[in-house]
Amino acid sequence: YDSHTSNVMAVGFHCDGNWMYSGSEDGTVRIWDLRTATCQREYESRAAVNTVVLHPNQKELISGDQNGNIRVWDLAANSCSCELVPEVDTAIRSLTVMWDGSMVVAANNRGTCYVWRLLKGTQTITSFEPLHKLQAHDGYILKCLLSPEFCDPNRYLATASSDHTVKIWNVDGFKLEKTLVGHQRWVWDCVFSVDGAYLITAASSDTTARLWTMSTGEAIRVYQGHHKATVCCA
């Protein structure tokens, strides 16, 4: 899959497995046919793309770029259907969408999370309704992630930061529930287990990944063995 001209920062798959999407620092979002390994569509963001997520309706991509732009790409209309800039010239670092498509969170380089309710027509997003502005960290937020469908009874937002911590926020009011402390360097990525009972994190220069239990916020396992930075986990 060879047509991006700079670093590929985001990648993901459609639920039917027929196509893949990617976002790059070359300023484009691309759709790839997995059967023919060719680029089927290209969307111009006009700034380095840092993050791309697929809406649960499987019909729209949402991208965030280095200039602070968030754009919704309507795959049926083959165009940008919505655009907003929460903070001018403040890079959007990470995006996450609630599993039911009701909410989107954007995290930026100033440690701020913006939360919107997604309003949609019959099938696609029509507008973003502001819900909350959360000053989550003093440093960069490198990843934000909403908990999965089967996380009962509460819904959570995890934010991983350059301040070496991961914070867990209750989506009901966005109150801080736990701060996960243990990594010695920037925490680049995090992912919930399917039932939301655990969180796995990857930190850069400390070369480790960690498994945390959500019930106590304790690291119950440390994965060591890499000799260079660990920057993603799944």
Q: What is the pLDDT of residue 119?
A: 83
Q: What is the pLDDT of residue 149?
A: 87
**pLDDT tops 90 at residue 185:** yes
Comparing 227 with 150, the larger pLDDT belongs to: 227
Percent of the chain at pLDDT > 90 equals 88
For the segment 82-90, the average pLDDT, to the nearest whole number, is 94
Percent of the chain at pLDDT > 70 equals 97
Choice among 63-72, 143-152, 209-218, 219-228 with the minimum mean pLDDT = 143-152
Choice among 141-145, 146-150, 158-162 with the minimum mean pLDDT = 146-150
**pLDDT tops 80 at residue 208:** yes
Q: What is the pLDDT of residue 123?
A: 63
- What's the pLDDT tens digit per position in 4-24? 999 999 999 999 999 999 999
Amino acid at 23: G
HSE on the CB side for 13, CA within 13 Å?
6
**pLDDT tops 70 at residue 60:** yes
Nearest CA-CA partner of 183 in 215, 146, 223: 223
pLDDT confidence band for 204 (50 / 70 / 90): confident
**pLDDT tops 80 at residue 75:** yes
Q: What domains appear along the chain, each with residue ranges and CATH number?
A: 8-223 (2.130.10.10)
- What's the pLDDT tens digit per position in 93-146? 999 999 999 999 999 999 999 999 988 765 667 789 999 999 999 999 999 999
User: What tokens were used for 231?
Assistant: 């920057």
pTM above 0.85, yes or no: yes
User: What tokens were used for 45?
Assistant: 């963001």
Residues 6+ apart with CB under 8 A from 36: none
The DSSP symbol for 34 reads: T
